[in-house]
């Protein structure tokens, strides 16, 4: 009898049995709110790991891990200057598994910046941003910025020396912007110093505003992948052109009239079925496997390495040297060279603008969805040069700057003050 009831419960939720044939497999995807972001069928070629390296998914999984561990941390953390640091100490030493949860949050945040950056590199080096995917690239640039802002706002919350002085530097960076700089800084900090107002502002941005915006953009980003015809494929432009010309008798177009409501970009019936497989199980299994690897990586990091926590924030003593978070330390390095308007404002703005324009400036047709196609030599050289410059700046700032911002080799010892 109980088997009968269980069966009825199962049927009331899933409406179908185990998806053992193609019809049920497509139903498994379309009848499920969470799965139906996937297409029913995907091209075999887009499932190949070396095509994407799974970097977009890895970024998303890190976002999920960050959301869950972040909510857990919120149960103990109070954003008040008298309590924040104590709560961090409690999480570190008193709360059960507190240190693991915090480590996971910290390492996932770092990893997400790296993953999002590498994802951007992958899309660039495979020219996957080309028509019709230009706008999804733009969304991706905004997601990269949101990832950086999320990390930055989270950086202040532990209220230790590292946090306090990094945010002091970054907030003054905002202050050097022409005309509106001082007002912006006042609004961001909620005052003139990094104090209680700044802490609560960063907290609200970090736990509500920015994650919500990021989630929204992620959903649009995913949705656009579907609407733009799935992941970029090598011959897709040629296929689409062929399709537009259509069958001489016009019969084929007519019989699939409903599909054509969405302009020719969805997987069509009768379109070389051999090259497509059902998302269940081929795509889902790969996604689940990748998630396991991400979890294993983050767990291993969190068990082996503890996130840093320095002494409590002390506005009287600047640590020497004081450094911004590593992903902004390249900017800090630029800043140390001279006029902050060039290094701190114009250079990053030019970089973001250039990124936004990439898909609209590229007129190439050849080499879409292929790694580092020889016809794209100039585009690839420019992108690589800028990326390497950014990485070198970060490396110099992080590993080669000692007390008073003097240059040292990474293996050189700093003088003791």
Partner 1 sequence: MDRRRFLSFLGWFASLGTIAGISWGSVRFMIPNILYEPPKAFKIGKPQDYPDGVNFLPEKKIFVVRNGESYKVASAVCTHMGCTPRWVGEQKVWECPCHGSIFDEKGGVVKGPAPDPLPWYEAKIASDGRIFVDGRRIVPYTQSLTVKS
With respect to partner 1, which residue has the nearer C-beta, 280 or 328? 328
Residue 277 has phi, psi (to 5 degrees) of -130, 160
Q: How many helices (H) and strands (E) does the chain have?
A: 19, 2
**Shortest distance in whole angstroms from residue 206 CB to partner 1:** 16
- If the CB atoms of residues 231 and 331 are measured against partner 1, the closer one turns out to be 331
Half-sphere exposure at residue 358, Cβ-oriented, CA atoms within 13 angstroms? 29
CB atoms inside a 10 Å sphere around CB 86: 13
Residue 107 or 159: which CB sits closer to partner 1?
159
Between residues 267 and 319, which has the closer beta carbon with respect to partner 1?
319
CA–CA gap between residue 198 and residue 300 (Å, rounded)? 34
Q: Nearest approach, Cβ of 184 to partner 1 (angstroms)?
A: 10
Least separation in angstroms between residue 86's CB and partner 1 is 21
Closest contact distance (angstroms) between CB of 170 and partner 1 is 9
Phi-psi region of 122 (alpha: psi -120 to 50; beta: other; left: phi over 0): alpha
User: Between 98-125 and 377-399, two packed helices, what is the crossing angle to 10 degrees?
Assistant: 150
What is residue 31's DSSP assignment?
T
CB of 321 to partner 1, least distance (A): 5
Tell me whether residue 19 or residue 321 sits nearer to partner 1 (CB atom): 321
CB count, 10 Å around CB of 258? 7
What does the alpha-carbon distance between residue 96 and residue 106 come to, in Å, rounded to a whole number?
A: 17
E strand map for 102-155: none
Rounded to a whole number of angstroms, the minimum distance from the CB of residue 331 to partner 1 is 11
Q: What share of the chain is helix, strand, coil (3-state, %, to 5)?
A: 65, 0, 30
List residues near partner 1 by CB under 8 A: 165, 168-169, 171-173, 183, 186-187, 190-193, 195-197, 315-322, 332, 335-340, 403-406
Pick the closer one to partner 1 by CB: 79 or 98: 79
Nearer to partner 1, 104 or 169 (CB): 169
The answer to whether the CB of 80 falls within 8 A of the CB of 270 is no
Q: How far is the CB of 371 from partner 1 (least distance, A)?
A: 40
Q: How many residues does the chain have?
A: 417
C-alpha distance from residue 363 to each of 86, 355, 367, 415 (Å):
56, 15, 12, 54
- Closer CB to partner 1, residue 192 or residue 255? 192
- Output the DSSP codes for 356-367: HHHHHH----TT
Nearer to partner 1 among residue 62 and residue 189 (C-beta): 189
- Output the smallest distance, CB 310 to partner 1, in A: 15
CB of 214 to partner 1, least distance (A): 20
């Amino acid at each position: 009898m109980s088997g009968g009831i269980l069966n009825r419960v199962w049927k009331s939720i899933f409406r179908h049995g185990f998806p053992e044939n193609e019809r049920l497999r497509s139903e498994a995807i379309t009848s499920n709110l969470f799965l139906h972001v996937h297409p029913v069928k995907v091209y075999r070629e887009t499932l190949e790991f070396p095509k994407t390296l799974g970097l977009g998914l890895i970024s998303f999984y890190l976002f999920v891990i960050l959301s869950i561990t972040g909510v857990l941390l919120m149960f103990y953390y109070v954003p008040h200057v008298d309590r924040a640091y104590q709560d961090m100490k409690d999480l570190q030493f008193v709360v059960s598994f507190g240190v693991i949860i915090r480590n996971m949050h910290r390492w996932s945040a770092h990893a997400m910046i790296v993953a999002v950056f590498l994802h951007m590199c992958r899309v660039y080096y495979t020219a996957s941003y080309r028509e019709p995917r230009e706008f999804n690239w733009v969304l991706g640039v905004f997601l990269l910025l949101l990832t950086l802002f999320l990390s930055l706002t989270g950086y202040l919350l532990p209220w230790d020396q590292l946090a306090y002085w990094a945010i002091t530097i970054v907030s003054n960076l905002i202050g050097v912007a022409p005309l509106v700089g001082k007002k912006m800084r006042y609004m961001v900090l909620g005052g003139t110093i990094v104090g209680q107002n700044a802490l609560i502002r960063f907290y609200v941005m970090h736990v509500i505003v920015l994650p919500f915006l990021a989630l929204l953009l992620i959903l649009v980003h995913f949705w656009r992948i579907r609407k733009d015809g799935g992941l970029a494929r090598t011959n897709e432009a040629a296929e689409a052109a062929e399709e537009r010309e259509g069958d001489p008798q016009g019969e084929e177009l007519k019989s699939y009239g409903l599909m054509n409501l969405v302009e020719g970009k969805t997987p069509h019936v009768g379109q070389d079925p051999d090259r497509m497989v059902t998302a269940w199980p081929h795509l889902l299994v790969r996604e689940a496997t990748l998630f396991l690897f991400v979890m294993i990586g983050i767990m291993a990091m969190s068990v082996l390495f503890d996130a840093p926590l320095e002494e409590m924030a002390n506005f009287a003593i600047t640590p020497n040297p004081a450094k911004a978070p590593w992903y902004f330390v390249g900017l800090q390095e630029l800043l140390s060279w001279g006029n902050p308007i060039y290094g701190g404002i114009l250079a990053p703005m030019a970089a973001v603008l250039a990124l936004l324009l990439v898909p609209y400036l590229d007129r190439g047709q050849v080499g879409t969805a292929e790694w580092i196609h020889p016809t794209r030599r100039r585009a690839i050289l420019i992108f690589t040069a800028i990326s390497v410059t950014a990485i070198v700046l970060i490396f110099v700032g992080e590993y080669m700057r000692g007390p008073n911002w003097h240059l040292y080799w990474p293996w050189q010892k700093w003088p003791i003050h």
